[in-house]
């Protein structure tokens, strides 16, 4: 009996020693790494706080932030050479559509994404266009009609073109006709589903330009979004078609002179979207990150830091007061105001942008 106890005790002691050794090796071995290419500044800070660090803590992964400055050329070189320096990329919408069309990204299956906190399947919870063949969106930004409330009180998108009832200059970006042309057709009564088929025809493009031409004497041009906000603040313009985040920045800058207002009618929205490089050896880990990052609560937390709405509707319930500025965020978030929102078609612009450019330049030339 004593011998039997000694054998059991010796076996137990050996197990403790082995467990200690394996535990030490597990604790001291390098963590698996995942490199997420994203944007610097407040966006990267928000993403790290709401998605990267929490995923690392939950999965035991060392999540590293890599700086990405847009485009697809660097990604194309990585895929061609099989030398990957990024495992997940946070794209602007036009770039993710382009990368997908070029075959540079792994497929995304909507059924693999988590259901919303409200129980709705991902494909029904995300806003239209947020889940594509090679991408899943995280946040939404938009072009909106912004105005100074003491100068104008527009109620609908068509009021942007009604100078008789809403006097004052209208500010547009001279860089591209994207957004302005869609807004012109929507304000002229074209149904949302018919905007791009109409714009693809010579007569439809002419119609959009003519609608904008009706403002010719009341147009002012800006080069950057901060310029548009300044034009509204100092009275050079009564309304501007500009990014929603630029309104947030203007309202919360140290030298803000009163608040600007947003008309959400016919906001023109796009997204930031995640993609995984084609052929990446870390595809499984990258998909684990995508499933975590696009949970309702994590998207809501990210939108608590920056004026980009969560790409899934159930995420809004998790948006809280901005942790740094201590202000309510929902008034600035596109996905909190989606009743008449219009989804910009980046694929259409990729196919037709060069055709439209010449007509736009002729119109916008001084």
Secondary structure (3-state) at 109:
coil
Question: For 12-60, how does the pLDDT look when each residue is reduced to its tens digit (9 = 90+)?
Answer: 334 343 334 334 433 445 789 999 999 999 999 999 999 999 999 999 9
Indicate whether 245 and 347 sit together in one domain.
yes
Indicate whether 227 and 360 sit together in one domain.
yes
What is the pLDDT at residue 256? Answer: 65
Indicate whether 51 and 78 sit together in one domain.
yes
Q: Which residues lie across from 171 on neighbouring strands? A: 220, 240
Residue 20 domain flag = no
Residue 5 domain flag = no
For residue 69, the 8-state DSSP code is -
- With a cut of 80, say whether residue 10 has pLDDT above it: no
- With a cut of 70, say whether residue 6 has pLDDT above it: no
What is the pLDDT at residue 281? Answer: 97
**Helix axes 202-213 and 180-187, enclosed angle (nearest 10):** 90
Indicate whether 153 and 263 sit together in one domain.
yes
Indicate whether 354 and 244 sit together in one domain.
yes
**Which two tokens mark 51?**
């998605």
What percent of the chain is modeled with pLDDT above 90? 84
Indicate whether 284 and 252 sit together in one domain.
no
Indicate the pLDDT class of residue 152, thresholds 50, 70 and 90. confident
Question: For 288-340, how does the pLDDT look when each residue is reduced to its tens digit (9 = 90+)?
Answer: 999 999 999 999 999 999 999 999 999 999 999 999 899 999 999 999 999 99
What is the pLDDT at residue 29? Answer: 53
Residue 22 domain flag = no
Question: For 232-246, how does the pLDDT look when each residue is reduced to its tens digit (9 = 90+)?
Answer: 999 999 999 999 999
Among 12-16, 80-84, 168-172, the least confident range: 12-16
- With a cut of 50, say whether residue 129 has pLDDT above it: yes
Indicate whether 183 and 97 sit together in one domain.
no
Indicate whether 204 and 83 sit together in one domain.
no
Q: Rounded to whole angstroms, how far apart are CA atoms 75 and 275?
A: 11
- With a cut of 60, say whether residue 350 has pLDDT above it: yes
What is the pLDDT at residue 188? Answer: 97
What is the pLDDT at residue 308? Answer: 97
Q: Give the CATH number of the domain where residue 165 resides.
A: 3.40.190.10
Indicate whether 351 and 329 sit together in one domain.
no
Domain of residue 193: give its range: 142-269+343-364
What is the pLDDT at residue 257? Answer: 65
Indicate whether 231 and 349 sit together in one domain.
yes
Residue 214 domain flag = yes
Which residues are within 8 A (CB) of 240 and not within 5 positions of it... i.e. 6 or more apart? 145, 146, 147, 170, 171, 172, 222, 228, 229, 231, 232
What is the pLDDT at residue 300? Answer: 97
What are the b/e assignments for 219-249, b being 16+ CB within 10 Å?
bbebeebebbbbbbbeebbbbbbbbbbbbbb
Residue 285 domain flag = yes
What percent of the chain is modeled with pLDDT above 70? 91
Q: Rounded to whole angstroms, how far apart are CA atoms 249 and 224?
A: 13
Q: Where is 83: in which H helix or E strand?
A: none
Residue 18 domain flag = no
Question: For 183-200, how does the pLDDT look when each residue is reduced to its tens digit (9 = 90+)?
Answer: 999 999 999 999 999 999
- Number of domains making up the chain: 2
Residue 4 domain flag = no
Q: Rounded to whole angstroms, how far apart are CA atoms 160 and 265?
A: 11
Indicate whether 265 and 286 sit together in one domain.
no
Residue 17 domain flag = no
Indicate whether 287 and 181 sit together in one domain.
no
- CA 361 from centre of chain: 28
């Amino acid at each position: 009996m004593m011998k039997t106890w000694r054998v059991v005790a010796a076996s137990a002691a050996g197990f403790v020693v082995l467990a200690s050794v394996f535990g030490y090796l597990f604790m001291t071995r390098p963590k698996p790494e995942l490199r997420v290419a994203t944007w610097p500044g407040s966006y990267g800070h928000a993403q790290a706080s709401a998605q990267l660090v929490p995923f690392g803590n939950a999965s035991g992964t060392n999540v590293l932030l890599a700086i990405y400055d847009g485009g697809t050329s660097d990604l194309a070189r990585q895929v061609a050479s099989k030398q990957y320096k990024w495992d997940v990329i946070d794209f602007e919408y036009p770039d993710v559509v382009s990368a997908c069309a070029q075959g540079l990204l792994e497929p995304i299956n909507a059924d693999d994404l988590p259901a919303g906190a409200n129980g709705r399947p991902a494909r029904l919870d995300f806003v239209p266009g947020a889940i594509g063949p090679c991408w899943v969106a995280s946040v939404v930004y938009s072009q909106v009609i912004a105005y100074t409330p003491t100068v104008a009180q527009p109620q609908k998108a068509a009021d942007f073109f009604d100078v008789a009832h809403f006097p004052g200059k209208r500010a547009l970006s001279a860089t591209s006709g994207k957004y302005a042309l869609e807004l012109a057709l929507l304000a002229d009564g074209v149904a949302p589903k018919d905007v791009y088929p109409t714009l693809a025809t010579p007569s439809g493009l002419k119609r959009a330009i003519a609608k904008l031409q009706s403002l010719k004497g009341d147009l002012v041009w800006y080069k950057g979004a901060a310029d548009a906000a300044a034009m509204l603040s100092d009275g050079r313009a009564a309304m501007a078609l500009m990014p929603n985040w630029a309104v947030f920045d203007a309202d919360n800058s140290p030298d803000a002179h009163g608040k600007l207002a947003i008309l959400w009618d016919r906001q023109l929205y796009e997204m930031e979207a995640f993609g995984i490089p084609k052929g990446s050896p870390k595809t499984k880990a990258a998909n684990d990150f995508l499933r975590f990052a696009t949970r309702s609560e994590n998207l809501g937390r990210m939108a608590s830091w920056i004026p980009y709405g969560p790409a899934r509707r159930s995420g809004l319930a998790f948006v809280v007061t901005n942790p740094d500025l201590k202000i309510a965020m929902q008034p600035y978030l596109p996905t909190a105001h989606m009743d008449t929102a219009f989804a910009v078609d980046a694929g259409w612009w990729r196919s037709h942008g060069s055709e439209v450019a010449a007509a736009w330049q002729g119109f916008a030339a001084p």
